[in-house]
Structure 1
Amino acid sequence: MRVIINGDKNLYTKFVESHPKGHILQTLEWAAVKDDNWGHIYVMVEDQGDIKASMLLLIRKLPIIGKNMIYSPRGPVCDMHDKTVLTFLITEVKKLAKQYNAIMLKIDPDIKADDSEVIKNLKDLGFMRNEEALNFEGIQPRFVFRLDIRPDLDELMANFHSKTRYNIRLAERKGVTVRMGTRQDLPAFHQIMEVTGLRDNFVVRPLSYFEKMYDCLHDRGYLELALAEYQGQIVSGIICLFCGDKCWYLYGASSNEHRNVMPNYLLQWEMIKRAKERGCTMYDFRGVSGDINPDNPLYGLYRFKKGFNGEFTEFIGEFDMVLSPMWYSIWQKAVPAFRKARRKVTLMLKRSKEDVEKHEHDAAGGME
């Protein structure tokens, strides 16, 4: 076996797209989306003329300390039960990580939580499993719903929860329509994304990020934007990503108006149909909480996605190979506190801005 570093891009892409564990987050186009803050390298393992494994490595400079972290989102792409190939790959990647002065190598593979063989393989290679997280504490969601969309549309619809079927048909009866969006629709999508973030208490990326994501992924066929309209107004939208025979629902946004006509249900149904047209066999609804107590503030998201009858899936989570124990310990303590503070300040500023704009609007209305 031999390792190939930054080799033939077409060969790398073909392998990622065709492998059962291939993932959009392992594509070179995704690396381009992230290149404002992350550098990257990509590796392949070749054995007797065949590619056996690949791995996209995102590299980020850590502030102050002058060292790096390396992260492979949903990597590596290989049969992780094949310990010979996995050991060779990780050994070579570890050498690269040391060359880049990294304090750790982080992975979060697309492997189910009950796969004890892969967990053992990773621990034997020196990885440490992060603490369990029930909500969205990790970089990628630990819990998702995944729907097998190989059955025909009638069977898929019949397997949805009765309330989900009712809401899809209600949206159709009320005159909600769905169309595929373009880059010119991104400002309108982002506007309702901001509304959604304030309503559901999460921080929204700037419009420029969505524009860059569109530019990097759409022409390649990796991204589609769908919009639901009611009475001539965009009321909700979703962004889905595609790679090989898989589709991921990445972002969803909805207005505070006309939620009673259930546009979000129809959007999901139309995008499931779109994924089938493209030859996909799996539709991933992405993150939900692992805490399915109805009192959990995230339970509504769980209930919405559960209605489409996907498989509730838990992944093995994040595994870190620690290369600098002291700096890794500092990182583990500092980053969660920083993210929590940043999120709190960002949401506070957004709400303050919204209050000011509302006050100005009300004042203007009073003078008319």
Structure 2
Amino acid sequence: MFTYKVGIKKDEHDSFVESSSLVCLLQSSTWGKVKNNWENELIGFYSNDKMVGTASVLIKKLPLNFSVIYIPRGPILDYSNRKLLKFVIDSLKEYGKRKNALFIKIDPLILRSSFKLGDEQVINQESENIISDIKKFGGIWHGLTKEMSATIQPRFQANVYTQADIESTFPKHTKRLMNDARKRGVYTERADITQIEEFSNVVALTETRKNISLRNKEYFKNLMEMYGNDAYLHLAKVNVPQKLKEYKKNLEEINKQLLETQDHQKKMLTKLEQQKNSTTKYIKELESLNIISDEDMVIAGILSIQFGDTMEMLYAGMDDLFKTFYPQYLLNPKVFSDAYDNGIRWSNIGGIQGNLDDGLTKFKSNFNPTIEETIGEFDIPVNKIFFSLSQLAYKLKKQKKLKFKKK
């Protein structure tokens, strides 16, 4: 005997989501508050008064009193239980009618495949059965899309599963760039809300460079206030004048040793010449920046949120003036390390294109991620008369948005 209830308590909802194998930040009750341009309600599903499913639904009001409903990375339930799945979809349709919804969009965190880059991609047969069942119960599947722009949430994402010595899993190329960053004086730390403006500034620089729109300082501040200790702000910093003094002092010492080294000490002379060339290179690089202020500068940052034993690395920014300092190669490992220390199982470093040959995939491959492919989006029609028209309008709006981004 299944029943459902609208307006359940946040703790009941969050507790169920956190204990599920489908746990995801986007289904946390707080995320509904973050998306303050949508209405939000929590729906619980029960079997003989025991919770067996839940959904945090986002409701967007449309003209003429219509609406659309979106359940990001949900609903949360045992999808192998076909009777429960049918009940949940039927209940959502009933709920959608009360909200005068045109359709309900869902994109559950059901994995179709999980693999390392370069390994064979093995399809999870159970996911194929779930796709078939959702379609049978009224869902219209968007298919195995490849482009990130084809869905609201990326169908392919890169997850780093944490462990004690995460750096040992990275390729040699990554370790070399981490070492280069350290030589340039880059260091990382977990910051607090008092440094949100510095983070916002480097995000703004990234927006300008990539011609994209992310979020502003108030949004980031609001996010950190809402999630409290579960919000992780990591910053990469450098003190250029201080590092410059250090290298100049090192160069003086190297030159002194060169003068004191005998001609027959060829190995020592070769080593010192290499150190001199390397140190001179760093000095020229630092001097070219023309940084006068003797203060630690924020040159990159990442804002992440923990929910349950998972982490979403949501926003990142970098000052392009310091791109050869490779701060992101120290920042990401710092996030993974802190995540591991706090019992976090995996960190999502973001979506990638399904063809796996784009620039994002290449960059993220530096951290040995596991690529996880979800089954994708489904639309559940509620108002069948206007559903087709709404889909056409949504498609045209998306095309217009993409066209604007390309300009």
1:168 aligned onto 2:217: no
2:45 is aligned to: 45
1:224 aligned onto 2:220: no
Measure the CA separation in 1 of the matches of 2:198 and 2:399: 28
1:291 is aligned to: 355
Judge conservation of contact 2:53–2:77 (CA < 8 Å) in 1: yes
1:65 is aligned to: 64
* SS of corresponding position for 1:117: helix
CA RMSD in angstroms comes to 2.0
Measure the CA separation in 2 of the matches of 1:202 and 1:283: 24
1:332 aligned onto 2:391: yes
1:24 is aligned to: 25
Measure the CA separation in 2 of the matches of 1:256 and 1:177: 17
State the identity as a percent.
26
Unmatched segments (≥5 aa) in structure 1: 294-298, 349-368
1:185 aligned onto 2:195: yes
Q: Deviations over 1:42-76 (max 9, x none)?
A: 111222453211111111102x3320000000001
TM-fit CA distance, 1:342: 5.0
The TM-score, its normalising length taken from structure 1, stands at 0.85
Q: Deviations over 1:189-243 (max 9, x none)?
A: 22221221222232223333222222222x2x33211111111111110111111
* SS of corresponding position for 1:25: helix
* SS of corresponding position for 1:193: helix
Aligned equivalent of 2:366, options 298, 301, 307: 307
Matches within 5 A, 1:1-368: 1-35=2-36, 37-62=37-62, 64-113=63-112, 114=123, 115-131=127-143, 132-149=145-162, 151-153=163-165, 156-217=166-227, 219=228, 221-231=229-239, 232-293=296-357, 299-341=358-400
Judge conservation of contact 2:102–2:390 (CA < 8 Å) in 1: no
Q: Deviations over 1:240-278 (max 9, x none)?
A: 111111111111111111111111011100000011011
1:207–1:329 CA distance, 2 compared to 1 (3 A): farther
Judge conservation of contact 2:164–2:340 (CA < 8 Å) in 1: no
How many residues are aligned here? 336
Q: Deviations over 1:75-134 (max 9, x none)?
A: 011221111222222221211111000000001111123410111121111001125242
Q: Deviations over 1:111-163 (max 9, x none)?
A: 123410111121111001125242333211111111222x431xx32221211
Judge conservation of contact 2:189–2:234 (CA < 8 Å) in 1: yes
Judge conservation of contact 1:203–1:347 (CA < 8 Å) in 2: no
Instruction: For 2:139, give the aligned amino acid.
Output: F
Measure the CA separation in 2 of the matches of 1:158 and 1:346: 39
Measure the CA separation in 2 of the matches of 1:334 and 1:209: 29
1:68–1:243 CA distance, 2 compared to 1 (3 A): same
TM-fit CA distance, 1:307: 1.6
TM-fit CA distance, 1:318: 0.9
Judge conservation of contact 1:203–1:343 (CA < 8 Å) in 2: no
Measure the CA separation in 2 of the matches of 1:8 and 1:66: 27
Judge conservation of contact 2:146–2:355 (CA < 8 Å) in 1: no
TM-fit CA distance, 1:347: 8.9
Judge conservation of contact 1:2–1:47 (CA < 8 Å) in 2: yes
TM-fit CA distance, 1:339: 4.4
4+ runs of 1 displaced by more than 6 Å?
none
Judge conservation of contact 1:225–1:238 (CA < 8 Å) in 2: yes
* SS of corresponding position for 2:348: strand
Unmatched segments (≥5 aa) in structure 2: 113-122, 240-295
Instruction: For 1:313, give the aligned amino acid.
Output: E
Measure the CA separation in 2 of the matches of 1:78 and 1:20: 9
* SS of corresponding position for 2:111: coil
Measure the CA separation in 2 of the matches of 1:15 and 1:276: 23
* SS of corresponding position for 2:174: helix
1:118–1:211 CA distance, 2 compared to 1 (3 A): same
1:137–1:223 CA distance, 2 compared to 1 (3 A): farther
Q: Which has the higher contact order (CA 8 A, sep 6+)?
A: 2
The TM-score, its normalising length taken from structure 2, stands at 0.78
Measure the CA separation in 1 of the matches of 2:386 and 2:222: 32
Q: Which has the larger radius of gyration?
A: 2
* SS of corresponding position for 1:20: coil
1:186–1:279 CA distance, 2 compared to 1 (3 A): same
Instruction: For 1:112, give the aligned amino acid.
Output: L
Instruction: For 1:276, give the aligned amino acid.
Output: Y
